[in-house]
Each structure stands twice: as structure tokens, then as C-alpha cells.
């Protein structure tokens, strides 16, 4: 039996891999595990439950709420809000548990369940493991202890969550956005109302696309995975910049005035410099993953900013930020964590802070992003190989060493095994795109030959 919890909660095709029964059972199990861990000692537990606009979120939300209330947990139902909003409200309201129903940038038929602990932080791995174990024990016949009478949880809608979260976002900005024209692509997702409202309250003139969710159109040819519509809208309206979210708005990519894409590395670079200048970049260090462009690393070195790199995944970035006491981290995909103001990646906050930098400096976004030069990066997936041997093959190691000698200081090689498929990812960066393509193809051939 495979593990239910992945790097970002439990996901699956709604009503197939992720059923109402599973959502209910996991919620009851979570309540019991947190109670056993002492999280509910001496008080009646409270949970915050939110979702993105997917049609399946309606029945899954009902199942989660039923499960929690049946376990004696009071529920504050906040409705359609971004994942970082649920995390923020879990912390600000002093709730014992947060639950978000979303599959982020995945297609509409998928959905997912993510749990947050007190304070709005992701559950520790050992708690997720215990929840999964208890859930399977119940599936095998173990009965729950069930409260009755006044012991059952009470459920109410918490409509104030929207305003509280938007006020928080606007309140932490270093300056207003007056004079900026911004296009926002909400991906027909959880940020469809929140992001335009936050930018408008901060003083920007806002134009919106992808902000009419109907439960079926989330991420459909829009949002951070499909930037063409945003590029066109920014150019058409003569906007200063565009901001694109994914379905649950925990990430953000941007578009400059001429339609140029600004990726997560560039956003991170702009914010790192801004925070260093303001004395808010703790230890003058930023955290990123090994997939960040070499151009980002070179730019940070030039600007006197330290760089700590982690495995791919925003959870690893967050773990390193907490461990080292750092204030800024993120991924090329647009997950940016500003730990002074959020416990998880927050796409709306990221977009607001990026716009604030444009506003206060009076410098176009493309020029700000020019602090780093994106080196050509080529990624080749080599399928049907024994990925377990990628780190032990002498033939592969020799080929990598040879390419690294050729690239010198102006390039980089990264080989890593896929966590979910029988393949090895070969990534090469170089100053010249043809050199990167040629080197990646050569290494891919060696990997196929040595590990096939």
C-alpha cells in the first residue's frame, strides 16, 4: 500500500482516488492524533477549514467538516480562500488545526487535503504518519471514540476571514502601490477575489483575468502554468506588471511591461535585494533549491548575499529557513516564503511585495529583474533506467566530471532521480544554449547506456 501523504498533503482524482469517505476518515484521524499529542489539552479544539473553487471541493469540504465535528472539534468554515490564507487564519485565530482542500496547479478533476498545525505550520512528518496509520486502522475495523450531546463539534461560517487576511497582506507591505497599473491572473482559483482586492486596497489600478471561477475552469489555460493570456493583457493595457497565481495561490510568477516572463528565481533576487537594503534579510542569506538557475547564484554572490540550497520542494526550503533562522526562501516555480509574514508560500503576498519594490524605486520590473541573468538551462528526462544507481555509477560520474570541466565557472550539471517515476533528470546550465543542449544530450546518452 503506497503512502497517502506526499510532499504536499494527500492528493488524487476527486471521487476516485480521493473520496468523501477518505476525507472524513482522515479528518477524524487527524483530530484523534492531535488530541493524543496533547494539542487539545484543557480546551475545546477549533479547526479552520477552507477550499479552492473546484466543484469537488464542495462535497469534500462537507466530509471534512463532518469528520472534525464528529470528533468533537469546532469548525470555522472560511469558504474559498488561498492555502496561505487558511494557514494565516489558523495562526491568527489561535486554532488548533487548519485544513485546506486544493490540488494547487493540478487539473480540475484532482483535489487534495492539506493539514496545518497550531500556528499555521505544516504538520510534522511523524504526525502525518500517525494520521495515516490511524486512518488505515479504522479502515480495517477499529472503531472511533465518539463524543455525544454537547461534546460534538459545532460548525459556523467565518465570513470575516476574507477581510482579515486581505488586511494582513496590505498591512505588512513596506509601501503603497499608488500609481501602478497591475494585471492579475487569478487562475479561476482561490485568489480570484483576494488578490485583486488586496492590490486595490494597496493603491494599485487593477485589471483582472482568470477571476471568474465556476468550479470547473480552475487552471484552465490561465494562471502561473499558462502565461500567454497574462502577457497579452499586460501589453494591451499598458500595465506596469502582471501577476499570475496557481489554483490555491501559494505561488506567483510575474510578467514585465513588455510581456517578458519573470520567474521565481528573478522574483527571489529582487526581494532579496529589497530586504537586504531594508535590513530585513536575516543573516544576509536567501534559501533556494538546487534547481535555481546558476545566474541566481552568481547574482547573489555579486550582491554580497549568501545562498543556502536545498532539495527540490518548498517544504525543504521552509525546513532550512526555520533551521537557520532565515527570512526569505523560494523556488524557481514561484513558491516564495517570507517567513516574517507567512508560514508557507504566499503568491498574493509575493506579488504585492514585488509590486511594492517597483513602486518605491520607480524602476521597471524588467530592469529590477536584470540583477540576475538567466543562464540557458536544459532539462532531459531519461526514462526506464535504474535510478537507484545514478549516484554510484563510475561511468556516469566520469561523464559528469568531464562536462563540468568543459563548463567551468559558467555552467553547472545536476543529475537527480525522480521521486515518483523510473527516470533520471539531467539538467545542464551553460552560458550558451547550444552548449547546454549538447552537453545534456551527451549525459543523457551515458545515463541511458550505463543505467538502462
Tracing cell 499529542 back to the chain, one arrives at 37
C-alpha–C-alpha distance, residues 60 and 68, integer Å: 12
Q: Identify whether the C-beta of residue 156 lies closer than 8 Å to the C-beta of residue 216.
A: no
pTM value is 0.91
Helices first, then strands: H and E counts in the chain: 14, 20
φ, ψ at 264 (rounded to 5°): -65, -35
**Do 25 and 89 share a domain, yes or no?**
yes
How are the residues of the chain apportioned to helix, strand and coil, as percentages rounded to the nearest 5? Answer: 40, 20, 35
pLDDT at residue 419, as a whole number: 64
**Do 338 and 410 share a domain, yes or no?**
no
- CB atoms inside a 10 Å sphere around CB 160: 13
DSSP state of 44: -
**Do 330 and 192 share a domain, yes or no?**
yes
Q: Write down which residue in 310, 336, 369 finishes a domain.
A: 369
Q: Minimal CA–CA distance to 120: which of 312, 349, 289, 346?
A: 346
**Do 101 and 77 share a domain, yes or no?**
yes
**Do 386 and 365 share a domain, yes or no?**
no
pLDDT at residue 224, as a whole number: 95
Residue 21, domain extent:
5-158
250 has binding-site annotation: yes
pLDDT at residue 176, as a whole number: 98
The domain tally of the chain equals: 3
pLDDT at residue 42, as a whole number: 79
**Do 247 and 266 share a domain, yes or no?**
yes
Read off the CATH number of the domain in which 85 is found: 3.40.120.10
**Do 177 and 150 share a domain, yes or no?**
no
Q: Minimal CA–CA distance to 28: which of 145, 182, 198?
A: 145
**Do 147 and 178 share a domain, yes or no?**
no
**Do 168 and 154 share a domain, yes or no?**
no
Read off the CATH number of the domain in which 386 is found: 3.30.310.50
Side-chain half-sphere exposure of 137, counting CA atoms within 13 A: 13
Q: Write down which residue in 369, 385, 413 finishes a domain.
A: 369
Using CA atoms, how far residue 417 sits from 180, 229, 381, in Å, is 43, 34, 10
104 has binding-site annotation: yes
The SS3 of residue 363 is coil
Using CA atoms, how far residue 303 sits from 23, 94, 186, 284, 307, in Å, is 48, 39, 33, 10, 11
List of residues 6+ apart from 429 with CB closer than 8 A: 293, 294, 375, 376, 377, 378, 407, 411, 412, 436
Determine the distance from the C-alpha atom of residue 340 to the mean position of all C-alpha atoms in its chain, rounded to a whole number.
Answer: 17
C-alpha–C-alpha distance, residues 192 and 219, integer Å: 11
pLDDT at residue 203, as a whole number: 98
List of residues 6+ apart from 195 with CB closer than 8 A: 184, 186, 243, 245, 249, 347, 348, 351
Q: What is the pLDDT of residues 342-369, one digit of tens each?
A: 999 999 999 999 999 999 999 999 999 9
pLDDT at residue 263, as a whole number: 96
pLDDT at residue 420, as a whole number: 60
**Do 294 and 184 share a domain, yes or no?**
yes
- CB atoms inside a 10 Å sphere around CB 307: 17
**Do 113 and 226 share a domain, yes or no?**
no
449 has binding-site annotation: no
**Do 192 and 319 share a domain, yes or no?**
yes
pLDDT at residue 2, as a whole number: 61
List of residues 6+ apart from 300 with CB closer than 8 A: 269, 272, 286, 306, 307
Give bridge partners of residue 336 from the DSSP assignment: 330
Low-confidence stretches of the chain (pLDDT < 50) are: none
Q: Write down which residue in 158, 174, 192 finishes a domain.
A: 158
Q: Which residues are catalytic?
A: 104
Amino acid at each position: 500500500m503506497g503512502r497517502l501523504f506526499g510532499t504536499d498533503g494527500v492528493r488524487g482524482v476527486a471521487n476516485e482516488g480521493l473520496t468523501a469517505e477518505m476525507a472524513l476518515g482522515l479528518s477524524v484521524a487527524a483530530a484523534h492524533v492531535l488530541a493524543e499529542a496533547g494539542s487539545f489539552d484543557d480546551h475545546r479544539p477549533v479547526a479552520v477549514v477552507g477550499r479552492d473553487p473546484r466543484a469537488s471541493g464542495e462535497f469534500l469540504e462537507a466530509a471534512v467538516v463532518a469528520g472534525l465535528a464528529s470528533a468533537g472539534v469546532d469548525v470555522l468554515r472560511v469558504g474559498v480562500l488561498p492555502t496561505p490564507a487558511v494557514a494565516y487564519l489558523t495562526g491568527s485565530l489561535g486554532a488548533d488545526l487548519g485544513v485546506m482542500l486544493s490540488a494547487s496547479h493540478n487539473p480540475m478533476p484532482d483535489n487534495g487535503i492539506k493539514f496545518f498545525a497550531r500556528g499555521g505550520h505544516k504538520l510534522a512528518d511523524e504526525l502525518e504518519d500517525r494520521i495515516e496509520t490511524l486512518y488505515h486502522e479504522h479502515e480495517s475495523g477499529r472503531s472511533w471514540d465518539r463524543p455525544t450531546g454537547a461534546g460534538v463539534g459545532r460548525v459556523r461560517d467565518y465570513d470575516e476571514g476574507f477581510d482579515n487576511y486581505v488586511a494582513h497582506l496590505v498591512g505588512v507591505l513596506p509601501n503603497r502601490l499608488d500609481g501602478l497599473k497591475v494585471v492579475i491572473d487569478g487562475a479561476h482559483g482561490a485568489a480570484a477575489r483576494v488578490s485583486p482586492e488586496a492590490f486595490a486596497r494597496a493603491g494599485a489600478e487593477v485589471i483582472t483575468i482568470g477571476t471568474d471561477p465556476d468550479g470547473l475552469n480552475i487552471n484552465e489555460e490561465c494562471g502561473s502554468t499558462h502565461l500567454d493570456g497574462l502577457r497579452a493583457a499586460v501589453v494591451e493595457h499598458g500595465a506596469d506588471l502582471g501577476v499570475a497565481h496557481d489554483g490555491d495561490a501559494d505561488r506567483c510568477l510575474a510578467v514585465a511591461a513588455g510581456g517578458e516572463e519573470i520567474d521565481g528565481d528573478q522574483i527571489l533576487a529582487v526581494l532579496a535585494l529589497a530586504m537586504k537594503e531594508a535590513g530585513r534579510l536575516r543573516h544576509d542569506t536567501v534559501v533556494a533549491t538546487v534547481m535555481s538557475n546558476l545566474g541566481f547564484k552568481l547574482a547573489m554572490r555579486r550582491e554580497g548575499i549568501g545562498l543556502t540550497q536545498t532539495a527540490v520542494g518548498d517544504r525543504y526550503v521552509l525546513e532550512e529557513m526555520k533551521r537557520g533562522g532565515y527570512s526569505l526562501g523560494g523556488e524557481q516555480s514561484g513558491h516564495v516564503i517570507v517567513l516574517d509574514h507567512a508560514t508557507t508560500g504566499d503568491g498574493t503576498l509575493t506579488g504585492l511585495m514585488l509590486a511594492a519594490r517597483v513602486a518605491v524605486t520607480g524602476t521597471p520590473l524588467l530592469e529590477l529583474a536584470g540583477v540576475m541573468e538567466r543562464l540557458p538551462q536544459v532539462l532531459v528526462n531519461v526514462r526506464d533506467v535504474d535510478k537507484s544507481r545514478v549516484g554510484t555509477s563510475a561511468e556516469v560520474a566520469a561523464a559528469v566530471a568531464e562536462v563540468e570541466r568543459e563548463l567551468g565557472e559558467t555552467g553547472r550539471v545536476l543529475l537527480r532521480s525522480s521521486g515518483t517515476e523510473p527516470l533520471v533528470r539531467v539538467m545542464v546550465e551553460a552560458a550558451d544554449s547550444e552548449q547546454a543542449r549538447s552537453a545534456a544530450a551527451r549525459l543523457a546518452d551515458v545515463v541511458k547506456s550505463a543505467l538502462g
